[in-house]
Amino acid sequence: MNTRIDRQAEFSGTREVREAHRFDEAALDAYLREHVDGYQGPLTVEQFKGGQSNPTYKLTTPGAAYVLRRKPPGKLLASAHAVDREYKVIAALHKLGLPVARPFVLCEDASVIGTAFYVMDFAAGRVFWEPHMPGVETSERAAIFDAMNAFMADLHSVDYEAAGLGDFGKPEGYVARQIARWSKQYKASETQKIANMDRLMDWLPDASPSSGQATLVHGDFRLDNCIIHADRPAIRAVLDWELSTLGDPLADFTYHLMQWRMPPSETGAGVGSLVEHLDLPGVPALEDYVASYCERRGLDGIPDLDTYLAYNFFRMAAIFQGIVGRVRDGTAANARAAEMADLVGPMADVAWDYAKKAGA
């Protein structure tokens, strides 16, 4: 029987850089001296414990702290680990005043540290790895949920053309493309046959929902991708924009809703879940949270909710399978990535349950 982990202790903070993710720190120091205004060494490099896809490092100097995100070394899936896209969207949203870390430089020259990378400001604050925020007062918990809801509405209201992101993706057919993309990447990472994933890949292409809207989408928005201010219930920076693109905002928002219905993992190594904490004061009811978002965006409701959730649980299962594939290929960034193999099947089961509710 696997031991349940303390997610907050397991994923918070930094550690010594893993052997597979080390690089020439002197070369990085020289590059930053030339390309980042005000940068002065000496440089200390640590690796953040959290994060699955792109290895992420804390860079500390006597006068400032920075964060470096890079492509992982080794064999990579096509189109994955797009740090250049992360940098582009962060740079655009920072100019608009949305809560993202200040970007400093994108380096696509792999000769510097072995892969492409970018550097942004280190946003100090709180990261909650449990979505029910244990130890937080009821009023603050409720306010942080409301801040996330407002951020989603604000993001989905950005004029992406005016922000310089008109070429950031194809606005139409987002969900259909995502189904095709994650089906392909799932098959490339497959380590065992899972019947419900095969059923979903057969059913979803003809069932894919569409709101008829096109906005900027984050693609992986949840509480543990937010830095919360140290002393107030507000978002200081939203992280992990690797999956951002132009697409269907309701697909993006219903992904965020998955935490209300995510099957808790036996070890806690996967995605956090609210399922066992729905009665905790300050945790909004799913229906009320949906209503708040719809009110902020002037929507009457979310049609095809079950279909959207079937798609999102399938997509998450495929993402987790990609992590398992990186364990197989030796490029996984998280030390507990191997345990995620046990979560692909349960998420596929939830996805298929929603598919059946939607008429599959």
pLDDT digits (tens, 9 = 90+) for 105-120: 999 999 999 999 999 9
Same domain, yes or no: 52 and 144: no
Same domain, yes or no: 35 and 181: no
Backbone angles phi, psi at 119, to 5 degrees: -125, 135
Domain range for 109 is 7-121
Same domain, yes or no: 301 and 261: yes
Residue 1 located in a structural domain: no
Residue 44 located in a structural domain: yes
Please tell me the predicted confidence (pLDDT) of residue 61.
97
Please tell me the predicted confidence (pLDDT) of residue 226.
97
**CATH number, domain with residue 277:** 3.90.1200.10
Please tell me the predicted confidence (pLDDT) of residue 138.
98
Mean pLDDT for all residues in the chain: 90
Please name every residue paired with 344 in a beta bridge, in sequence order, or none if there are none: none
Same domain, yes or no: 186 and 52: no
**CATH number, domain with residue 16:** 3.30.200.20
Please tell me the predicted confidence (pLDDT) of residue 266.
66
Task: Indicate the SS3 state at residue 190.
Answer: coil
The pLDDT confidence band at residue 20, using thresholds 50, 70 and 90, is confident
Overall number of domains in the chain: 2
Same domain, yes or no: 114 and 213: no
**CA 135 to chain CA centroid, nearest Å:** 24
Residue 39 located in a structural domain: yes
Do the Cβ atoms of 183 and 318 come closer than 8 Å? yes
Domain boundary among 96, 121, 146: 121
Mean pLDDT, rounded, for 8-19:
84
Same domain, yes or no: 39 and 67: yes
Model confidence pLDDT, tens digit, residues 197-208: 999 999 999 998
Measured between alpha carbons, how far is 338 from 332 in angstroms, rounded to an integer? 9
Please tell me the predicted confidence (pLDDT) of residue 199.
97
Distances (CA, A) of 34 to 17, 31, 91, 346: 24, 5, 20, 49
Mean pLDDT, rounded, for 71-92:
77
Measured between alpha carbons, how far is 36 from 122 in angstroms, rounded to an integer? 14
Please tell me the predicted confidence (pLDDT) of residue 250.
96
Same domain, yes or no: 296 and 150: yes
Residue keyed to tokens 């059913």: 203
Q: Residue 267 is encoded by which pair of tokens?
A: 């070890």
The pLDDT confidence band at residue 337, using thresholds 50, 70 and 90, is low
Measured between alpha carbons, how far is 230 from 49 in angstroms, rounded to an integer? 20
> According to the 3-state scheme, what is the secondary structure of 288-303?
HHHHHHHHHHCCCCCC
Do the Cβ atoms of 6 and 272 come closer than 8 Å? no
The pLDDT confidence band at residue 1, using thresholds 50, 70 and 90, is very low
Please tell me the predicted confidence (pLDDT) of residue 94.
98
Please tell me the predicted confidence (pLDDT) of residue 158.
98
Same domain, yes or no: 265 and 292: yes
The pLDDT confidence band at residue 310, using thresholds 50, 70 and 90, is very high
Please name every residue paired with 228 in a beta bridge, in sequence order, or none if there are none: 126, 235
| Closest to 346 (Cα-Cα) out of 165, 194, 221 | 194
Same domain, yes or no: 185 and 53: no
Same domain, yes or no: 117 and 148: no
DSSP E strand boundaries for the chain: 14-15, 44-48, 56-60, 65-70, 103-107, 117-121, 215-217, 226-228, 235-238, 245-247
Please tell me the predicted confidence (pLDDT) of residue 303.
85
Domain boundary among 121, 154, 181: 121
Residue 83 located in a structural domain: yes
Please tell me the predicted confidence (pLDDT) of residue 238.
98
CB neighbourhood size of 20 (10 A): 13
Residue 93 located in a structural domain: yes
The pLDDT confidence band at residue 12, using thresholds 50, 70 and 90, is confident
Measured between alpha carbons, how far is 182 from 317 in angstroms, rounded to an integer? 9
Do the Cβ atoms of 228 and 144 come closer than 8 Å? yes
Residue 146 located in a structural domain: yes
Do the Cβ atoms of 160 and 215 come closer than 8 Å? yes
Burial bucket for residue 79 (CB in 10 Å: 0-12, 13-18, 19+): exposed
Do the Cβ atoms of 46 and 14 come closer than 8 Å? yes
Residue 225 located in a structural domain: yes
Q: Is the pLDDT of residue 267 over 70?
A: no
Backbone angles phi, psi at 74, to 5 degrees: 95, -165
- Consecutive H or E run containing 86: helix 83-96
Q: Is the pLDDT of residue 335 over 60?
A: no
Same domain, yes or no: 213 and 312: yes
Same domain, yes or no: 162 and 293: yes
